[in-house]
Amino acid sequence: MTDEPIKIDTGLVELDVTVIDQNNIPVFNLNKDNFTVYENKIKQPIESVGREEVPISYGVVIDASGSMRSKLDEVSSATVSLLRQMRPDDEGFVAQFKYETELIQGFTRDRRKLEKAIGDVSTGGGTALLDAIITTADYATKKAKLRRKALIIISDGLDRNSAMREKQVIDAIKESDVQVYLIGLVDEEDATSMSGGNPYKNYPFNQAKNLLTRLADESGGRAFFPKDVSEVNSIVSQISKDLRTQYIIRYYPTEINRNGTYRAVRVDINTKDNRRLVARTRQGYFARPEKESEKESEKSPNK
C-alpha cells in the first residue's frame, strides 16, 4: 500500500448514480430534468444524464478468518454465481483477509481464473476488515483498467485486528473512486452472544454496523446485513444489478480552481408525481490540479 493520494481529473466530473424508491426498487425512467447536482452546496449545470451499460472493474474480497469456516461454502457459491454474470469487457480480482490481506488473483477477464481463486480461499486467523478495505480499494484504484470500479466485501465479524482507524478508512474512501459494497454476516443473535447474552451491550456491533454503512454510503455503494448466510446469493445478484443499471451524470464544476480541496457532492431527485426517491452516489472528490494528477500517475508504483 502507498501513502500517495489518488488523483481525479476534475475537468469533467462523472458520477455513477443509483436511484431507488421507498421500497428499495431501482428506478430507470428518469431524465436530465429529474436530477439536481450540488457541489459544496452550489447548484451545478449538468452536461448530460444517461443510463449506460458500461464494463466494470470489481474485486471480490472475502473474510477468511476462522469464524467464517462454516459460512465459506455458501459465500463461495454466491461469489462464483456473481462471477458467472461477468460480461466479456469486465475484469475482476479476488482477495482474502485474515490478519493480513492477500491477493489471490489479480485483475483478469478470465472468469475461470477468478472461480479457481474463490476455491483457493482458506480460513483461519483473525479479522482485519478496515485494513482490507484500504488495501483492496488502493489496489483497485491503481490497477483497474475501467472507469467504473467496485468492491464486494463479505465479512462475518467485528474488526478486532486492524491497524487502521475509522478516520483513515473514511479518508481513503474519499480519496478513491471505488464503490464499496459490504455484506456483514453478523446478526443480532451472534452479537448478543458476543456481549454475554445482554442485548443492551451490543454497542461494538452497532458501532461497527454504523461505520460500515458510512463507508459504503461515502463511496456510493451500499451495506447489507443479512440475518442468514443463505441470503448472500440474492444480495450479490442485487449488487450486480445495481452496478449494471446506474445513471451517469456528467458536469463541469462551476468552481474551476483546482486547489486540491475536498468537494462535497449531493444529488437530489425531482419528479412531477413527488415520489420519494433516493440517489446513491459518492459523496465527494478531491479537486487535484491536472498537472499534479499527471505527475502522481507517473510516480504510482506497479505491483
Is 65 a member of any domain? yes
Looking at the domain assignment, is residue 147 inside a domain?
Answer: yes
Same domain, 228 and 96: yes
Per DSSP, the three-state class of 180 is strand
Cell of 137: 480499494
Q: Residue 182 belongs to a domain with what CATH number?
A: 3.40.50.410
Judge if 292 and 199 occupy the same domain: no
Residue 6 lies in a domain: no
pTM for this one? 0.84
Give all strands of the β-sheet with 148-155 in edge-to-edge order: 101-108, 91-97, 56-63, 148-155, 179-184, 222-224
134, 222: one domain = yes
> Which pLDDT tens digit goes with each residue over 183-213?
998 755 555 454 454 444 455 667 778 888 9
User: Which residue's entry shows cell 426498487?
Assistant: 25
* Interval 81-93: pLDDT, tens: 999 999 999 999 9
Residue (of 95, 99, 78) closest to 228 by Cα position: 78
Please check whether residue 18 is in contact with residue 181, taking contact to mean a CB–CB distance below 8 angstroms: no
Residues 207 and 288 in one domain: no
H helix intervals, 144-231: 166-175, 188-194, 203-219
Domain carrying residue 47 = 13-52+258-299
Judged against a pLDDT cut of 70, whether residue 293 lies above it is answered with: no
> Which residues are CB-neighbours of 112 under 8 A, at least 6 positions away?
none
pLDDT exceeding 70 applies to what percent of the chain?
Answer: 85
Number of domains comprising the chain: 2
Q: What is the DSSP letter of 237?
A: H
User: Residue 244, exposed/middle/buried by CB under 10 A (0-12, 13-18, 19+)?
Assistant: middle
User: Do 270 and 148 share a structural domain?
Assistant: no
CA–CA distance, 61 with 131 (Å, rounded to integer):
12
pLDDT at 297: 42
Residue 92 forms part of a structural domain? yes
Query: Which set of grid coordinates corresponds to residue 159?
Result: 474488526
Q: What is the pLDDT of residue 53?
A: 82
Confidence of residue 63 (pLDDT cuts 50, 70, 90): very high
Annotate 87-123 with DSSP letters as a single string. Answer: -TT-EEEEEEESSSEEEEEEEES-HHHHHHHHHT---
63/209 same-domain check: yes
Burial of 186 (0-12, 13-18, 19+ CB in 10 A): buried
Q: Are residues 18 and 104 in the same domain?
A: no
- Which among 19, 65, 10, 59 is positioned nearest to 39, based on CA atoms? 10
Residue 46 sits in the same domain as residue 77: no
- Residues 136, 210 share a domain: yes
Task: Give tens-digit pLDDT for 147-183.
Answer: 999 999 999 866 777 887 878 888 888 888 899 999 9
